[in-house]
Amino acid sequence: MKTKNTLPFMCYVKTENGETVVIQYGEQGYSKNAWCTNPDGEPRDVEELNKRVGVTEKQADVMKGGSMFGWNTPLVTNYLEGL
């Protein structure tokens, strides 16, 4: 079954140690960019960052799982199929 990708190109998530990072669709792992921290070095709020780029909490959760466990896992494929 072919599905429409309703996941964004990128989103922001928190790591287990509280660090704000960027996930890119289809990529394993994460990276950082200039928006991940405030000028004082503190992590920015991921909800606010994702809101700015139009990413829902559910999309960010699915993308975090995809980046950690693979983009063909049931977490991602079920989301894309609307289950």
Residue 76: inside a domain = yes
2 within some domain: no
Residue 43 lies in a domain: yes
| Residue 10 near residue 49 (C-beta atoms within 8 A) | no
- Structural domain of residue 16, as residue ranges? 10-80
* pLDDT value of position 5: 75
Contact 33, 22 (CB under 8 A): yes
- At 25 the pLDDT is 95
Average pLDDT by consecutive 10-residue portion of the chain (83 residues)?
Answer: 74 94 96 93 94 96 96 92 77
Q: Is the dihedral of CA 71, 15, 54, 57 positive or negative?
A: positive
* Domain count for the chain: 1
Does 3 reside within a domain? no
In contact, 6 and 55? CB cutoff 8 Å = no
Whole-angstrom Cα distance, residue 55 to residue 77?
A: 18
pLDDT at 82: 84
pLDDT at 20: 95
Report yes or no on 1 lying in a domain: no
Give pLDDT, residue 1: 41
